[in-house]
Amino acid sequence: MEIGIAIFGVGRWGAHLVRNFLNHPHSRIIAVVDPHAEKLQAIQEHLQLDKGIALVENWIEALELPGISAVAIATPASTHYEIISAALKKGYHIFSEKPLTLKYSQSVALCKLAEQQQLQLFVDHTYLFNPVVQTGKSIIAQGKLGKLRYGYGTRTHLEPVRSDVDALWDLAIHDICIFNSWLQETPIEVAANGTIWLPQQPPQSDLVMAKLVYPSGFQAFLHLCWLNPDKQRRLGVVGSQGTLIFDEMSADQPLVIQHGHLEYFESAWKAVDISQEVIAIKKAEALAHVCHKFLNSILTNTISQISSGWVGAELVEILCALNNSLQQKGKIMRREQPDSSFHN
């Protein structure tokens, strides 16, 4: 069975979506949609798209094309709510880039609408389908790090600089997503501080330092910046017996355990059992797996447990709380229980 799909937005990530859905046996691309004609022309030439695939500049017109069962959305986050709402009302399953929306209330509304329409609302949290992240989750679950203490994530680059959202909304969701998955819990307290250097309107934080506190007491610290030529994609979880490190910039050794701990000898703490263990990872394109899972969720009428709209909405709630803290110069935002709302 083939699922007719329209892909909205063919920037860098949207182009990858076109390639993956084009190559999947259970999908048939009906239309590629983007307001920029030159991008449509470029993707058609690059992937040698069949002439039968419609190239459309107006997304509202694209929703009226025959043969569509699903819509994949890789447009700016500020447009998600309007487009997803309209597509769900037309009866289409949704594959959305993250974040689902920029407001928690809008994300909840979309989740409820999808349920009412009995449609799949799937959010592309690609890292959760990455073999490195999946292996890391297993390692932590097995207790190989000992008692977990804290974590850190660094996500920096020199560009791109976004005009629709700040560094927090652009970058934080990836590491929050991984920490939540690895810890199997969600934050109950968050705080963030930002710095603005670039003269943009409206002003956007170019550097954000954020803190997440989990029910277990685990704390995660995030360093997010798009003005740093030292590109980093590095995340670590520190335990009493070692540290698990996911370094995305290391193609050959993206996941390692740095073993070691402290013992008290002769009135001093000394490091012992120091060694590095490189974890073998089966190579696979995470996005291909994501696209497959989305199509499978439609064919089997099953909601994804790790990438549903509700999972996406929870991440938006955390980002909104961090954003509120950012606007209040680092004020701590708390929620009493994992399923309650954040407040000052």
Six token digits for residue 256: 């390692």
What SS3 class is residue 323? helix
Six token digits for residue 44: 């058609």
Asked whether the beta carbons of 77 and 173 are under 8 A apart, the reply is no
What does the pLDDT read at residue 227? 96
Prediction pTM value: 0.95
* 288-293: average pLDDT: 96
Nearest to 84 by CA among 101, 65, 68: 101
User: How many helices (H) and strands (E) would you count in the chain?
Assistant: 9, 15
DSSP state of 65: S
Asked whether the beta carbons of 226 and 157 are under 8 A apart, the reply is yes
pLDDT tops 80 at residue 339: no
What does the alpha-carbon distance between residue 322 and residue 193 come to, in Å, rounded to a whole number?
9
Please list the residues that pair with 257 across neighbouring strands.
244, 277
What does the pLDDT read at residue 225? 98
* 310-332: average pLDDT: 97
Whose tokens are 């069962």? That residue is 69
Nearest to 5 by CA among 302, 291, 336: 291
pLDDT digits over 194-216, tens only?
999 999 888 999 999 999 999 99
What does the alpha-carbon distance between residue 213 and residue 180 come to, in Å, rounded to a whole number?
11
Instruction: Please state, in angstroms and as integers, the Cα–Cα distance from residue 36 to each residue in 43, 84, 201, following that order.
Output: 11, 20, 23
pLDDT digits over 67-99, tens only?
999 999 999 999 999 999 999 999 999 999 999
pLDDT tops 80 at residue 338: no
What does the alpha-carbon distance between residue 193 and residue 128 come to, in Å, rounded to a whole number?
27
Give the chain's mean pLDDT: 95
What does the alpha-carbon distance between residue 269 and residue 57 come to, in Å, rounded to a whole number?
65
- Categorize the per-residue pLDDT at 175 as very low, low, confident or very high, splitting at 50, 70 and 90: very high
What does the alpha-carbon distance between residue 131 and residue 17 come to, in Å, rounded to a whole number?
19
